[in-house]
Amino acid sequence: MALVGLVGWRGMVGSVLMDRMQAEGDFALIEPMFFSTSNAGGRAPAMAKNETTLQDANDIAQLKRCDIVITAQGSDYTKVVYPQLRAAGWKGYWIDAAKTLRMQDDAVIILDPVNMPVIKDALARGVKDYIGGNCTVSCMLMGLGALFKADLVEWMTCTTYQAASGGGAQHMRELLTQMGSLNASVRSLLDDPASAILEIDRTIADTQRGLSAEETKNFMVPLAGSLIPWIDADRGDGTSLEEWKGGAETNKILGRGPGFGVPATPIDSICVRVGAMRCHSQALTLKMKRDVPLADLEAIIKADNSWVRYVPNTREASVRGLTPVAVTGTMDIAVGRLRKLAMGPQYVGAFTIGDQLLWGAAEPLRRMLRILLEQ
C-alpha cells in the first residue's frame, strides 16, 4: 500500500481535502502519514493507521519515506522543503496546492476533467510534480473549459468576485470578526426602527475606517461592507499576480502557449476580493471565433462534465441558483447569465461560480492521488 504523506491537512484546503478523501474512501487505499509544521510529535487524526504520530513537516528523512506527498501547506513551505527533498534524492510524486511549482516546465497543473490527456502524457514521460491550479482558474475551466476544448474562444476577459476563504482559514475568521464589529457598532440603532439610516451609514464608515491593525491583519484593510480590487502580489506592470495566473495557468492547463506548439489564447482579468465566505464567482466576456448559436453554446457547456449545473438566464433562476450561498459546499460548478452581448453576435457573456476549496483546490489533488494509485 502506498505510503502517502499529508502536509497542511488542518488548513482551509487541507480540511476540505480530508473531508473529501473520507467521503470517497481514499484512505482505504493508502497508508497515510500525517505531518505538521506546528505540532510534530502530536497525535495524528483518526484516519491514521500505523503512523499515528504527527511527523515534523520539515523532516526530510521522514518525507523521503513517502511514495507520494500531498501538501496544502502553502507556497513558503514548498519553496523551502521541496528542493531539499529532491536534492536528497527523493523520486516520489509531489502533489501540491501551492503556486510555487505550477509554472515550472517539468510540473503539470492538474484538473483532470479538463486536461486528462496532458496528465497522462506527463505520467508517461515520468513527470513527478502535479500541482493544483489557481482556484479561480480551475473553477472557471470546470464551467467553460468545453468552449476552449472546442477551440471556439478567440479571447476572454474576466472580472472575479473572490471569497475570503481564498486567503485561508485566518482570512475567513477576520472577515467574520470585522462583520461582528460593524454590527456591534450600530446594534442599538438597528434595534430602533426610527433611527436615521444616514447615521447608521456614517457609524459603519467610521467603524470600518477605525478597525484596528489586529482586525485587518490578513486583508490589510476592511473587507466587511467593502471590497478589495487587488489579489496577491503586485507584478509592477499594473497587473496583480492573480490576474497573471488567469492567463498563464489557463493556457498551461489547456496545453497552449510556449512549449506546447499551439498559440496561447489571450485571457485577462481584474481580480477582486469580496466579502463572500466561500466560492469564487466570475463575470466573463468571451469573443468567439465565430457566431455560435446560444443554444449550441449551452449544449456544449452542459455536455462537458457531470459537475456543471447550468442556470437558465432568468432573474428567478439566477438569484436563487447562481450565488455563492447556493453553491458553497457542493461540487456544482454553476454556469449562468449566458447571453450574446451588445458588441455583436460573436461576443458572449457568462457568469460562473465554484466552491474554490473543492474544485478550486482539494478535489483535483485527491483525484490526482487516485490517478497515481490506479496506474
Report H helices in the chain.
12-23, 60-64, 75-87, 112-124, 135-149, 169-191, 197-209, 241-254, 294-304, 315-321, 324-327, 363-374
**Which residues lie below 8 Å from residue 139, measured CB to CB, with a gap of 6+?**
280, 282, 333, 352, 353, 354, 355, 356, 359, 360
The least CB distance from residue 17 to ligand NAP, in Å, is: 9
Nearest alpha carbon to residue 175 among 184, 187, 163: 163
Using rule CB under 6 A, residue 214 touches ligand NAP = no
The least CB distance from residue 172 to ligand NAP, in Å, is: 8
The least CB distance from residue 133 to ligand NAP, in Å, is: 8
End-to-end Cα separation, the chain, in angstroms: 14
The least CB distance from residue 25 to ligand NAP, in Å, is: 23
Q: Is 280 a catalytic residue?
A: yes
Using rule CB under 6 A, residue 13 touches ligand NAP = yes
Give whichever of 100 and 207 is closer to ligand NAP, judged by the CB atom: 100
Grid cell of 112 as nine digits: 483532470
Using rule CB under 6 A, residue 98 touches ligand NAP = yes
The amino acid present at 222, given as its one-letter code, is P
Binding ligand NAP (rule: CB under 6 A), the pick from 11, 255, 257, 349 is 11
Using rule CB under 6 A, residue 250 touches ligand NAP = no
Binding ligand NAP (rule: CB under 6 A), the pick from 68, 70, 109, 135 is 135
Q: Which stretch binds ligand NAP (CB under 6 A): 3-11, 83-91, 203-211, 336-344?
A: 3-11
Binding ligand NAP (rule: CB under 6 A), the pick from 2, 3, 10, 292 is 10
Using rule CB under 6 A, residue 12 touches ligand NAP = yes
Cross-strand pairs, 7:
71
> With the C-alpha atoms ordered 275, 251, 16, 45, is the resulting torsion angle positive or negative?
negative
CB atoms within 10 A of CB 278: 21
The amino acid present at 4, given as its one-letter code, is V
Q: Is 135 a catalytic residue?
A: yes
Q: Which stretch binds ligand NAP (CB under 6 A): 11-19, 239-247, 260-268, 308-316?
A: 11-19
Which of positions 50-89 make contact with ligand NAP (CB under 6 A)?
57, 72-75
Distance CA 365, CA 274 (A): 26
The least CB distance from residue 163 to ligand NAP, in Å, is: 8
Number of residues that bind ligand NAP (CB under 6 A): 28
Using rule CB under 6 A, residue 281 touches ligand NAP = no
**Mutual orientation of helices 241-254 and 135-149 as an angle, nearest 10°?**
40
Report strand pairing: 344-354 vs 333-341. antiparallel
Binding ligand NAP (rule: CB under 6 A), the pick from 45, 168, 255, 349 is 168
Helix, strand, coil content of the chain in percent (nearest 5): 40, 25, 35
Give whichever of 143 and 360 is closer to ligand NAP, judged by the CB atom: 360
The separation between CA 253 and the C-alpha centre of its own chain, rounded to angstroms, equals: 14
The least CB distance from residue 84 to ligand NAP, in Å, is: 17
User: Which residues are part of the catalytic machinery?
Assistant: 135, 280
Residues that bind ligand NAP (CB under 6 A): 8, 10-14, 36-38, 57, 72-75, 97-99, 132, 135, 165-166, 168-170, 356-357, 360-361
